[in-house]
A = this chain, B = another copy of it.
Amino acid sequence: MTSSDTFAALAEVSTATITTVLLKKGIRNGYMRGPKPLAGDTRRIVGPAFTMRFIPAREDLAVPEAWASPRSTRAAIEDMPAGVVTVADARGVTEAAIFGDILVARMKKRGVTALVTDGTMRDAAGVLATGLPVWCTGAAAPSSVAGHIFVGWQEPIGCGGVAIFPGDIVVADGDGAVVIPVALAEEVAKLGVEQERFENWALAEVQRGLPLPGLYPPDAQTKARYDAEKKR
């Protein structure tokens, strides 16, 4: 299981750095295309994925009555443990929202950490007002019944062109959202913290006037200097 130390470490690592670390581990497809922070200023969030799956609407099924069915988004929300990051597969559809303020407010109440989707929010001002951090592709007025049917939760899904399995670790910040296969989370956290530390050091070196070649990526001399300074 992913330890709280790992979560704490990942909260210090940017999604940019995580993609670099994942690439070194052979994972090229972890960054979700589409989801961006709905609020302008956004802290980084980390948590295990709780997945939701939508398919296209069909008029015999996509009716307000579906909201009360046992396989409804409502039932899924009541099943969310505190701390999860809800990841909803909306197939990149932007013409109909998947949630509005009421459902998002309930997620917030249940202790959900954040919501990530390749779809849109309706009543986006109200969604922001709930205080739940949201990564999505924007706002759209029509409700989910206009474009989506909810078919299940905690299934493997695609979101933003990326595979998400329940329990995978999701990190999101100003650059967007990335998924870390749960088996790699601890190692990515460790390598990410170290990479982040080096990048901060290298940035400071650039700020005091050093040129890039030899510095970033570091040659042997730079590495030695960095290792020496790190020890202090």
- Please list the residues of chain A having a beta carbon within 8 angstroms of any beta carbon in chain B: 14-16, 18-20, 23-24, 26-31, 33, 36, 55-61, 64-65, 67-68, 72, 74-75, 77-78, 91, 94-95, 97, 100-103, 105-106, 109, 122-126, 138-143, 145-146, 149, 151-152, 155-158, 161-163, 174-176, 178, 181, 183-184, 199, 202-203, 206-207, 209, 211-213, 216-217, 219
Contact = CB atoms under 8 A, between A and B. Distances in A.
Contacts of A141: 14-16, 18-19, 31, 175-176, 178
Contacts of A212: 74, 77-78, 102-103, 106
A186 to B, nearest CB: 15
A52 to B, nearest CB: 13
A213 B20 contact: no
Contact of A58 (B29, B91, B146, B217): B29
A interface secondary structure, majority: mixed
A75 to B, nearest CB: 7
A123 to B, nearest CB: 4
A201 B206 CA distance: 47
A213 B74 contact: yes
B102 A216 contact: yes
Given A16-B142, A102-B206, 5 more contacts: A16-B122, A31-B142, A56-B163, A68-B213, A78-B212
Given A30-B58, A56-B29, A58-B30, A67 B216 contact: yes
Contact of A176 (B15, B65, B140): B140
Contacts of A157: 55
Contacts of A207: 105, 109
B174 A57 contact: no
Nearest to A91: B158
A31 to B, nearest CB: 5
B58 A27 contact: yes
A196 to B, nearest CB: 10
A145 to B, nearest CB: 7
Nearest to A123: B16
A92 B106 CA distance: 33
A61 B181 CA distance: 10
A178 B95 CA distance: 12
